[in-house]
Amino acid sequence: MTDGAPISDYGLLGDTRTAALVSSDGGMDWLCVPRFDGDPLFGRLVGGPDAGTFRVGPARPATVVERRYRQHTATLETTWAVGSGRLRLTEAMVAEVSGRLLPTTLIVRRLSAEQAAVDAVVEFDPRLGARHRRPRVQHRRQGLVCEWGALAVALASTPTLSIEPGRPTAVTVRPGRPVILVLAVAHREPVIHVEPTAAWELLVEDEARWRGWTAEIDDRLPFREHVARSLLTLRLLTYSPSGAPVAAPTTSLPEDPGGGRNWDYRYVWPRDASIGVSAFLSVGKADEARGFLAWLLHASRLQRPRLPALLTVHGRHVPAERELSGWPGYLDSRPVRMGNDAAVQHQLDGYGWVIDAAWAFAQAGHRLYAETWRAVRGFADVVAGRWQEPDAGIWEVREPGQHVHSKLMGWLALDRALAIADTHPLPERQRRRWRKARDAIAAEVRTRGFDPTADSYVRSYGSPDLDAAMLVLPLLDMDQAESPRVRGTVDAIRDRLSAGGALLYRYPPGRDGLPGTEGAFLPCSFWLVQGLARTGRRREAVELFRALVGYASPLGLYAEEMDPATGAHLGNYPQTLTHAALIQAALAIRDAPTSG
């Protein structure tokens, strides 16, 4: 769509099963049902007006005077100045529905007025799937029901409004008389109607649970409020029935506006998920880590010992990429894609992240189940047998190469597996094989992956290019964190991959074989914070972190990338990897010597 709001204008609503994006005009322009990777019900964000929206807000253009999440909750508030009055939209999705007769997805949106009556509008226009299918509509006593075969949504309101899909409905909101709208989703099950006032009470109960969950985060943690918002975001993006976090709730938000770098991120990358698991563990959230490891054990069973690069939230094969005909894309960025062909790639680094998460779980005092340890052993065997092969690397390039970061993560996989084996059973022959491969990787990386003229480890063997993923080097202990090689690598990346200010490119722009350009990669900047903290430069790390929190959206959310020239967020949003990297950066500052 050519007139789209900035990506950073959108707020996230979520219930740990799916998520919606809502703009500052009250437009719910993205929601997939019945889960993150389901069909879009409201797809205007990348599908244009024909893809549907659910807007609740002022009837005429109005000024936003405040927009925020209620502290330590997932409830979003938007307040507009309208004439002499104020109109407030308070909205959320109810996360806790187990044990009660409730729909799996329940969205509550409440309009209230202050100082004077305000004219508002409700635009409810659901269009399902790639073809923007209109529903079969029924008007029942409890409200409006829209059906598409096995899927139905029910919209109720108090006071009762006469709402027709696709047509705006005018409503006057008066002080002390709020208007509550409730949208319930049913998939292969009966429609459950929830009375709007009761739904509001459910939302209030949910807020108390989120505040209790957040209260467990250590008060002494640096940048605690930013960490808390990122942890909440990660939790909202974790599919609670399986424990698997999606990379983002969206597809095809562009890395290069107007270009073709548009990918579907509504799936689970074990790499990204493992980074999030480590973040949860570091703040004492062991249940999230346990849930992910259990999911991974189930999800990888059919392909084990190979670790897939990505999976669906149910642990199944990710659909092949397809392009949606007639979808204009965000800011005319086409094609709009569903599915992701990176699922068939060999990515060695994923094994390192996953085994490192298992090691962190064991380090926290939790013994791995026998079957989990068996899976980890299989992953380590794959690394020991395949580490010399080229792979697609963390950046999923189309042409496989000898990526130094992948080798490092292969080293990490074997090193952490050997550490777990200190407290878990392992045949001595297997232990020797892992140790031999681990030491061989270290020797090869030190000789073939380091460029003395640049005083830095490089992106791939024989290449002068740098790779910001190498900023994890100080965290791995393959070389001492304050060694000249490690510090030289951190400094070279900071200098040569700088995108200005606190921003970094992940590799030299235009060096990935794809047409078009891309922005600075936000997780890399947080990895730089970690690198500085781990190499004894805490003061610089703190300064950089302070600059980076200034790049967040007004609601504290981050996309994957940012345009260095304009500060616009780019790519799918909000991004699990960026928020996980933020948390780990804050933890690195916490653990760094205060004299640095």
Nearest to 109 by CA among 89, 81, 79: 89
Pairing of strands 105-114, 179-187: antiparallel
On the question of a cis peptide bond just before residue 335, with omega within 30 degrees of 0, the verdict is yes
Structure tokens at 430: 């297997």
Q: How confident is the model at residue 546 (pLDDT cuts 50, 70, 90)?
A: very high
Measured CA distances, 165 to 27, 135, 150, 154, 155 (Å): 15, 9, 19, 12, 10
The pTM of the full predicted model, rounded to 2 decimals, is: 0.97
CA gap 347, 239 in Å, rounded = 23
How many beta carbons lie within 10 A of that of residue 520, not counting itself? 24
Looking at the predicted structure, is the pLDDT value of residue 596 above 70? Answer: no
Q: DSSP letter for 8, please.
A: G
Q: Which residues contact 228 (CB under 8 A, 6 or more apart)?
A: 72, 214, 217
CA gap 366, 454 in Å, rounded = 42
Q: How confident is the model at residue 516 (pLDDT cuts 50, 70, 90)?
A: confident
Instruction: Report pLDDT digits (tens) over 137-158.
Output: 999 988 999 999 999 999 999 9
Looking at the predicted structure, is the pLDDT value of residue 429 above 90? Answer: yes
Q: Which pLDDT does position 1 carry in this prediction?
A: 36
Unique residue bearing structure tokens 């597996």: 417
Q: Which pLDDT does position 320 carry in this prediction?
A: 96
Instruction: Report pLDDT digits (tens) over 195-212.
Output: 999 999 999 999 999 999
Q: How confident is the model at residue 2 (pLDDT cuts 50, 70, 90)?
A: very low
Instruction: Report pLDDT digits (tens) over 363-422.
Output: 988 889 899 999 999 999 999 999 999 999 999 998 899 999 999 999 999 999 999 999
The rounded mean pLDDT for the chain is 95
In the chain, pLDDT over 90 holds for what percent of residues?
Answer: 88
Looking at the predicted structure, is the pLDDT value of residue 525 above 90? Answer: yes
> b vs e for 563-589, b when ≥16 Cβ sit within 10 Å of the residue's Cβ?
bbeeebbbbbbbbbbbbbbbbbbbbbb
Instruction: Report pLDDT digits (tens) over 249-302.
Output: 999 999 999 999 999 999 999 999 899 888 898 898 989 888 888 898 888 888
